[in-house]
Amino acid sequence: MTSEEPTRKSLAAELAPLAAQLCELQNRAVRAYEPIIGRIIRSGSQDVREIEATLDGLLDFACVPDGLKLFKALCRYYYAIDPVATVGYVQSYRELWDEDSEGEE
């Protein structure tokens, strides 16, 4: 046992509740975005500002599976309205969250 091991265990014990809180906040945010995205898509909204503001916010939560599902759904919808902007959002997602694209240019 190294002298750092108790410190690591202590740090892990301190971080565990914070990580759980973060996960809960992410899930709550995704649940809050769900009806907004549903409304945008169902109504056939062409409001670029609203769609982009929603994508901007949702991008922060696309790291969790349900958040990514919503992000993809709105991107698919938005692609018909503005394909160039949609590609930019997909690229932003990849830069933030896609581990497979790390190191690719």
Number of structural domains (the chain) is: 1
Instruction: Please indicate, yes or no, whether the overall pTM of this predicted structure exceeds 0.85.
Output: no
Percent of the residues in the chain that have a pLDDT greater than 70, as a whole number: 89
* Cα dihedral: 38, 31, 66, 35 (round 10): 0
What is the H or E stretch that residue 95 is in? helix 83-97
What domain range is 75 assigned to?
5-101
pLDDT score, position 23? 87
pLDDT tens per residue across span 45-73 = 999 999 999 999 999 999 999 999 999 99
The three-point CA angle 29-22-87 to 5° equals 55
Q: How high is the pLDDT of residue 14?
A: 87
pLDDT tens column, 15-45: 888 888 988 999 999 999 999 999 999 999 9
Q: Per-residue pLDDT for 101 more than 80?
A: no
